[in-house]
Amino acid sequence: MAQETVPTREKIGYACGDLASCLYWQTIGSFLLFFYTDVFGISAAAAGTMFLVTRLWDAVNDPLMGTIADRTKTRWGRFRPYLLWIAVPFGITGVLLFTTPDFSPTGKLIWAYVTYNLMMMSYTAINIPYTSLLGVITSDPLVNERRLAADAESGAAAEAAVKA
């Protein structure tokens, strides 16, 4: 069996996209609780409960998105359409997440629930297919193993950059 090689340009392109996703995620993960409690005025208990409820939905949403992406058949492939179609909504939800409308305390909590859930759903809709690209770029398990190790490194680098 011949060893598959992935061109360096393709590896760099994939890594750049992954780094961008990690930076986006780390920025939100590092600052959102502070933003909700100290800027937007939501209690820590309400924000924490919202994070828990959203993560419970995410536990259902992630495998569901994986199934949907695997069953997608378009002229662009199974995963690429989600990168094209979800990029703009993903960016918009990131902006809305840090928008502070002048609502009542209940209105602020509803706004936070809606925008955070929309952002998490759009993150799932773009990141699950993006990560799944790795399996179709190459079938070589050694290349995939190295890519997963690089993912961990880029995530750590993004976290360090955001928290610096």
The reported pTM is 0.80
Would you say residue 153 lies in a domain? no
Would you say residue 45 lies in a domain? yes
Residues 72-129 have pLDDT tens digits of 999 988 888 998 999 999 999 999 999 999 999 999 999 999 999 999 999 999 999 9
Counted residue by residue, the chain has a size of 164
CA quadruple 96, 57, 24, 6: dihedral sign? negative
The pLDDT, as a whole number, for residue 16 is 82
Would you say residue 75 lies in a domain? yes
CB atoms inside a 10 Å sphere around CB 106: 8
Q: Domain range holding 116?
A: 30-132
Residues 45-74 have pLDDT tens digits of 999 999 999 999 999 999 999 999 989 999
CA 53 to each of CA 12, 16, 49, 117: distance values in angstroms, whole numbers, following the listed order: 36, 31, 6, 9
Residue 109: φ, ψ to 5°: -65, -40
Would you say residue 92 lies in a domain? yes
Would you say residue 54 lies in a domain? yes
Would you say residue 84 lies in a domain? yes
> Radius of gyration of the chain from Cα atoms?
18
Would you say residue 8 lies in a domain? no
Would you say residue 10 lies in a domain? no
Give the number of domains in the chain: 1
